[in-house]
Amino acid sequence: MKLLNYTTAYFAGILLLVILVWAGLFYINMLDEIYDSMDDGLGNQKMLVMQKAARDSSVFERRNFEDGYYRLKEISFAQARNRNDVYQDTLMYVLNEQDYEPFRMLTTVFRHQDRFYELRVITSMVEEDDLIEDLFYALFWLYLGLIASILVLNNFLLKRIWRPFYKLLQRLQNFRLEDSSQFIPVPTTISEFQLLNNTVEKLLQKNISTYNSQKNFIENAAHELQTPLAISLNKLELLAESENLKDEQLTQIGAVIQNLERLTRLNKSLLLLSKIENKQFGPEAEVNLNELIGKIVADFSDQVTFRDLTVRVAEKEICWQKLNPDLAEILFINLVKNAIVHNKPEGFIEIIIQKDSVIIQNSGKPVPLDQDKLFTRFHKGSDAPGSTGLGLAIAKAIADLYQFRLTYEYPQMHQLTVKFK
């Protein structure tokens, strides 16, 4: 949910709660005012009736409400004693409505010529059901109007105010460490956004500096290691060609050469892995994976023949993917090599190429591998002497770089699947 919609939802909920509470308080206060106003009117009518009764004796003949707003009834002194004015709600039948309607009634007692009379005065009052209904519709339309106003405010005024923030987010999304020139601070006059701009710029500059330092260190370290390793290997090979060496010495020199060669491969693999993770490879292009995998299988034909393996490539569809050609080759070299190295004699490899995936299946030990460790660095699924434990880690890094899904399954055989977007 976007920030503006999120705040709108909160405003709508809070506003609904406020209106409900306000409506309840308003209804109670409004009823109180209505009752006060009607009671004052009834009190005034009582005084008018009493004054009229003092002048006109025909008033005492009013025994019911059919033709007026009051009625009189003579009572005894005992009934009149200690009587106070009583205001109450009542229902009376109204001819034009053909129904009982609510009325407010005042019951009081007064004395006239040593005789006591009970006076009842009525006035029509608002029906509470109608009042609640009218109040509900009034508040409902008020609420809709306020929500519409908030939406208009968010989409015109607040969106314009927050525009620098969204521009900053867009530039951060497009920012790449390997291309630091892309980030440009967003001009704004709002203090908080200026502070955010400055903070983000300082943070990115620090990350760029750290990235460049790490990049230079890796390149320099890899370069500096390659030279002494190559020199050591050359000297050991020359030493091994000497005629005065014993068999035991030749064996030891061979072991050292193997370790140095493994260290050379390890150095190259770590450098490659670092470059992949730091996105230091060149432009992308459309790569025909059918042709690429066919070439890789042909290149590994000697190893396949030596291990007496059967390789089958099932090209069900033509698969084109956009990525760096060198990384595409490294990805599938590692996957095919993994299927060869971790196979059994007279085993098989099957590669299934579809439009949106490549599946590599191979025989091997009849037990599933540990999926949690399979793609981690230096994890070895077998005791292959030349393995660095980085092949599948490099393949996973390339897949993650292009948002491909590299997964392992063991339905009846070992299966690695590269699922494209």
Supply angle C-alpha 89, 90, 92, rounded to 5: 145
Q: For tokens 């109450």, name the residue.
A: 88
> How many angstroms separate the CA atoms of 415 and 363, rounded?
9
In 3D, which of 291, 288, 311, 290 has the Cα closest to residue 301?
A: 311
Q: For tokens 């701009």, name the residue.
A: 197
pLDDT per position as a tens digit, 90-139:
888 777 777 778 888 889 888 888 888 888 888 887 766 677 778 888 88
- Please say whether the beta carbons of 183 and 201 come within 8 A: yes
Give the sign of the dihedral formed by CA 303, CA 307, CA 308, CA 314.
Answer: negative
Which residues lie below 8 Å from residue 93, measured CB to CB, with a gap of 6+? 99, 100, 101
The first and second tokens of residue 300, run together, are: 């590994």
> pLDDT in tens for each of the 421 residues of the chain?
666 667 777 778 888 888 888 888 888 888 888 888 888 888 888 888 888 888 887 777 777 776 678 888 888 888 888 888 888 888 887 777 777 788 888 898 888 888 888 888 888 877 666 777 788 888 888 888 888 887 777 777 777 777 888 888 887 777 776 665 666 777 877 788 788 888 888 888 888 777 777 777 766 776 677 777 777 778 777 777 777 777 787 788 777 877 777 777 666 766 766 777 666 676 888 999 999 999 999 999 988 998 899 999 999 999 999 888 888 888 898 899 889 988 888 899 999 999 999 999 999 888 888 777 777 766 655 555 555 567 788 888 888 888 899 999 888 889 999 998 7
In this predicted structure, what is the pLDDT of residue 385?
A: 52
Q: Count Cβ neighbours within 10 Å for each residue of 229-257 and write b for 16 or more, e otherwise.
A: eeeebeeeeeeeeeeeeeeeeeeebeeeb
- Please say whether the beta carbons of 165 and 196 come within 8 A: yes
- Please say whether the beta carbons of 381 and 342 come within 8 A: yes
Q: Are strands 310-315 and 348-353 parallel, antiparallel or unpaired?
A: parallel
> How many angstroms separate the CA atoms of 229 and 253, rounded?
14
> How many angstroms separate the CA atoms of 312 and 299, rounded?
14
In 3D, which of 268, 266, 331, 340 has the Cα closest to residue 300?
A: 340
> How many angstroms separate the CA atoms of 333 and 355, rounded?
19
Amino acid at 160: R
> How many angstroms separate the CA atoms of 12 and 8, rounded?
6
In 3D, which of 171, 173, 178, 179 has the Cα closest to residue 197?
A: 171
> How many angstroms separate the CA atoms of 417 and 362, rounded?
12
Q: Which residues pair with 253 in a beta bridge?
A: none
The DSSP call for residue 153 is I
- Please say whether the beta carbons of 4 and 158 come within 8 A: yes
> How many angstroms separate the CA atoms of 281 and 394, rounded?
14
Distances in Å between the Cα of 344 and the Cα atoms of 168, 271, 306 are: 55, 31, 12
Radius of gyration of the chain (CA): 47
Supply angle C-alpha 19, 25, 31, rounded to 5: 125
End-to-end CA distance of the chain, in Å? 25
HSE-CB of 388 using CA atoms within 13 angstroms = 23
Task: Give, to the nearest 10 degrees, the angle between helix 325-341 and helix 289-299.
Answer: 50
Q: Which residues pair with 122 in a beta bridge?
A: 105
Q: Residue 140, SS3?
A: helix
